Amino acid sequence: MENKTTFSQPSNVLQPNLSVYLDLLRYFAALMVYLFHAGHFSRYKLPFFGTYGGLGVAVFFVLSGFVIAFSSTGKRRDIVDYFIARFARLWSVALPAILLTLVLDTLGQWLALSAYAPMQPYPAYKWVAASGITALFLNEIWFLDIWLGTNGPFWSLSYEFWYYAIFATLIYFRGWKRVAMASLVIGFAGPGILIAFPVWLLGVGLFHLLRKHAAAGRPLLGAGVLLVSVVGLTLYVMMGGSKIFTALPIAYPLVDLKPWGINFWPQSYMVGFLIALNIYGFARMQQVFRNPSEKVVRLVRTTAETSFGLYLFHYPLMYFCKAILAVAHIPQGTFYVLAIYIAPFIAATWLSLKCEPLKFVLSRVLKTLFKKDKVRPAHGNDVSVVLAGGDRERRIDI
């Protein structure tokens, strides 16, 4: 996502406080997933925050729908530009993650195969097939559930990509072409991906709702909605929301549809709704806070930019760390737990920052290939938006 298009009109939705809040949510979601998996690998779960990694994925879906809906407003690029931006953004982390998984899994299994049990080493042809399918986001369509080596978190990228594709058919086509293209994409993606689409659409609906009402304020209403969402999410985690939902008869049809490629948590609808409420509540009350300083914006933005990499790099890094500890004959204990929690986190964060320039390179290459090589001003991700905020401009990456 290299180049940015700056919209000419200030947004009444993404004010400075909300853009910072969304970045914090994005990073917090990635951290929730990381802590959940670190608890699994180390056999020591942090109370509360290390309990439900699925919450983080729901946050990603809602935020994704929100920012993609936002990027579709104003003077938009055509559908080719849209997909160039999406591929550049996804591939800037996905391609390095594929390479990292291949290298670390191969080396780690050579060092300590027992650390990867019951997984066995991939033959070369399986690496090639899994890498190609994953890079094209085909790993979760219909009956497929393909893991690239140890990198299980890749599943959600397939979901996300096909939501981008469905949304594009609704935005860039009209009449019978819209119906035909949307049906074609939905039919290709399959029911397993489609069943989680309402969670993503919550973000789209949230954006359009805030577009009408955010500028009006209503801090008391916002504070009340925000409180309800926080209490609801806290109770969900503390009471074991997933167990409650799977115990209900209405959940059984969804759980039992795995032969159709459906592997979805019914409670994610509720979690997504609570996340949307949370963002809506903050947006309606954000005017009671002072605009963040440029220093705070830069710090939060830089931190949030590591969230994608933290999400996609950490699993093979945790397995590799486990292999190193096995070689060192450290199977458990305090050092083992600290190593699992800290070492992959540092490595994933560093790699994320190093991969940041790759999106510019990919965007330039894709634009050259598709003859979309006009130079646009600005830098960073594919879309930036000027936000109203005193006498300074603020931007949010899409």
- Average the pLDDT over each of 20-29, 216-225, 257-266, 293-302 and give the range with the smallest value: 257-266
DSSP character string of 104-131: HHHHHHHH-GGGGTT--PPPHHHHHHHH
Compute CA distances 70 → 67, 81, 86, 169, whole Å.
5, 16, 14, 16
Tell me the C-alpha distance between 370 and 83, whole Å. Answer: 11
Average confidence (pLDDT) over 119-138? 90
Residue 132 has which token pair? 């190609």
> Tokens 């963002």 — which residue?
279
Residue range 330-364, pLDDT digits in tens? 888 899 999 999 999 999 999 999 998 898 899 89
Residue 306 has which token pair? 């590591």
Query: Which pLDDT score is estimated for 321?
Result: 95
Tell me the C-alpha distance between 93 and 359, whole Å. Answer: 8
Closest Cα partner for 283 from 73, 15, 29, 58?
A: 15
Banded model confidence at residue 179, pLDDT cuts 50, 70, 90: very high
Contact 28, 59 (CB under 8 A): yes
Query: Which pLDDT score is estimated for 340?
Result: 94
Domains of the chain by residue range: 5-384
Tell me the C-alpha distance between 244 and 234, whole Å. Answer: 14
Banded model confidence at residue 372, pLDDT cuts 50, 70, 90: low
Query: Which pLDDT score is estimated for 136?
Result: 94
Closest Cα partner for 156 from 320, 340, 307, 344?
A: 307
Helices 334-355 & 16-42 angle (0-180, nearest 10): 140
68: helix, coil or strand? helix
- Average the pLDDT over each of 203-207, 288-292, 393-397 and give the range with the smallest value: 393-397
Query: Which pLDDT score is estimated for 72?
Result: 77
Residue range 212-256, pLDDT digits in tens? 765 566 788 888 989 999 988 888 877 766 665 555 555 444 445
Contacts of 271 (CB under 8 A, 6+ apart): 54, 55, 58, 199, 233, 236, 241
What helix, strand, coil percent values describe the chain, rounded to 5?
Answer: 70, 5, 25
Query: Which pLDDT score is estimated for 246?
Result: 57
* Sign of CA pseudo-dihedral 135, 136, 137, 141: negative
Query: Which pLDDT score is estimated for 263?
Result: 54
Angle at 322 between CA 319 and CA 323, to 5 degrees: 90
Tell me the C-alpha distance between 13 and 157, whole Å. Answer: 26
What does DSSP assign to residue 386?
-
Closest Cα partner for 294 from 398, 397, 391?
A: 391
Q: Which amino acid is at 239?
A: M
Tell me the C-alpha distance between 375 and 94, whole Å. Answer: 25
Residues of the chain with pLDDT > 70: what percent? 80
Banded model confidence at residue 127, pLDDT cuts 50, 70, 90: very high
> Tokens 């209900």 — which residue?
248
Query: Which pLDDT score is estimated for 220?
Result: 86
* Sign of CA pseudo-dihedral 221, 222, 223, 227: positive
Average confidence (pLDDT) over 372-395? 38
Banded model confidence at residue 49, pLDDT cuts 50, 70, 90: confident
Query: Which pLDDT score is estimated for 378?
Result: 38
Compute CA distances 291 → 21, 220, 254, 287, whole Å.
11, 19, 44, 8
Q: Which amino acid is at 257?
A: L
Q: Who has greater pLDDT, 392 or 191?
A: 191
- Average the pLDDT over each of 34-38, 86-90, 209-213, 329-333 and give the range with the smallest value: 209-213
pTM above 0.85, yes or no: no
Q: Are strands 383-384 and 5-6 parallel, antiparallel or unpaired?
A: parallel
Tell me the C-alpha distance between 157 and 167, whole Å. Answer: 15
Tell me the C-alpha distance between 291 and 363, whole Å. Answer: 32
Residues of the chain with pLDDT > 90: what percent? 42
Query: Which pLDDT score is estimated for 46?
Result: 84
Contact 380, 360 (CB under 8 A): no
Average pLDDT taken over every residue of the chain: 81
